[in-house]
Structure 1
Amino acid sequence: MPYLVAGVVFVGALCAFDLILTLAVVRRLREHAALLEGARAPAPFTPPGTALPEFTAASLDGAAVTRDFFSEPTVVGLFSTTCASCRERLPEFADRVRPLDARRVLAVIEGDRAEAEPFVAALASLATVVVEPRHGPLNAAFGHPAAPSFYIVDEGAVVTASMLTPAGLPMPAGT
């Protein structure tokens, strides 16, 4: 009988200890949930109404690309050489901007120059092309969005439309 009493006391103490641990875990989870609730994931693209900050980049022909580049509504495509979806969207983007004047299209390719060659070959005659390293000035100006992402930027360097595919992007007037 003393073993039975000792066993019941032991199991009761073990259950009480387990209950205390469970309550501590629940309290900690509530603290983490409150922290996560305040944190938001970055937007997959720069939202309309965002004014681009000052930046300076160089196009493939050596011309400086700054906020002044946006002297009229411009279509912008941001690509990455490490992105499979970027390679898939490249022909669609090229077809979409083909009717536009190349000065109204900016293609930004993030990655190594050698790896960017397929993008450059497809877009060189259709757009001002900038190849920049990871976290380059143009990607920083757009807030490091997901790649690919597509924009219309007005003459004040303000994003007026943004999409993750070029198909739904409204083309600037006069195209």
Structure 2
Amino acid sequence: MMQDYYDTEWGMPVRDERGMFERLSLEAFQSGLSWATILRKRPAFRRAFDEFDPDTVAAYDEADVERLMADAAIVRNLSKIRATITNARATVGLRERGGLVEFVWSFQPESTPEPRSIEEVPTTSPESLALAKALRKEGFAFVGPTTMFALMEAVGIVDTHLVGSHRRGSSGVWTT
């Protein structure tokens, strides 16, 4: 499962709103947990959060929060569930200014890291710090700089595949 995700999905550009909202949501749920846990639960998250349709999630009410808190198939963290609903509403609000995808991609750095070992892979960047701050200003929650760097890696904004990896540059965003 992890190998398939790494080889086919992680680091590939995400340019659609639903896809970006899903990645943002799952990165928030991953905070403090392993990515393997979130990936195993991803089908349940998709069912529970209506395929991460921002309009649908933005309309969630307290009954939905209770339903989600009772769903043992997902991570039942009240703060993260409420943040996902808050972030859906903020995503809808960003549409009048170009949308979530354009907003997140606007923090793409001039260059991408070039790690030669796992120890050299950064966990934050000036851009992830700025993205986190800007998203919070727009009303988003659970969007710290480390979580936003993980999002930037996941959606291809930065390429932290090791130099020499068969995946390095495979997104087409970065040629090195």
Q: TM-score range by the shorter chain?
A: under 0.3
Question: In terms of Rg, which structure is larger?
Answer: 1
Question: If each structure's strand is expressed as a fraction of its own residues, which one has the higher value?
Answer: 1
Question: If each structure's helix is expressed as a fraction of its own residues, which one has the higher value?
Answer: 2
